[in-house]
Amino acid sequence: MRLIGQGAMSRVYLAERVATNETVVLKLLDGTLANDEESIQRLIREASLVSGIKSPYVVKIFEQGFTNKYGFIAMEFFAKGDMKQRLEQGLSIKAAFIHFLHLMRGLDVVHKAGIVHRDLKPANIMFRTNDELAIADFGISKRMDATTQLTQVGSLLGTPAYMSPEQISAQPADHRADLYSAGVILHEMLVGRRPFIADSFTGIAMQHLNSPLPPLPEEAKAFESIYQRLLAKEPEDRYQSAEQVVNTLMTMIKRRI
């Protein structure tokens, strides 16, 4: 095994699945948290949420379980890296359109499975060898009808640069929060940077809550209405489903953007 990443609650390794000899990503719950009930429940929840989804646009979970020392999830390895790396290189308008359409199809599947991702960002959008896109890292995701409270009310979950106004305000958030995050990613795909940038949480939070959106450049104007609607401050003013976004994008294809 080779360590490839580490977070507050887990370590991530590249490993080989003995049954198939394929390379997998192994996420191990930190040993110090092995007896922590909340951490264990988070790991179980992440695996159970994703394992029931069968879609090319969502990460595949092969196995999950516990040993005497560790909790673990074995999932697919993405040889082509993540969206964050691609954004650093820059995307053409055509590539941005294709990737965003696939992202919305994936989000549609996730939402129809009753799941809110809650941390959608470029680092959690992965690419397979054949260049297929898949949504990954459901570590803080939840079911839309979940009643179990694993996080204190009023606490913040997610990545501030991609958070919806309701998440930043620590208010209840549903699938439309994911659509807001997708709008931030769309701007980044088209322009090469996020619509709101600040050096502090307070700075970025105030922009998400109060600042008007910067317009898209001329070469990306075909996306302006989608971008504006995804990033509406109020959830009621956004698209109400990822499927609606997919339908709008397909209409754009027919019009040959």
* Catalytic positions, written as ranges: 119
* Alpha-helix runs per DSSP H in 36-174: 37-51, 83-89, 93-112, 165-168
Distance of CA 38 to the CA centre of its chain: 22
Contact of 135 with 78, CB cutoff 8 Å: no
User: DSSP letter at 58?
Assistant: B
CA 177 to chain centre: 11
Q: At what angle do helices 93-112 and 242-254 cross, to 10 degrees?
A: 150
CA distance 84 to 120: 12
Closest CA to 111 of 252, 246, 254: 246
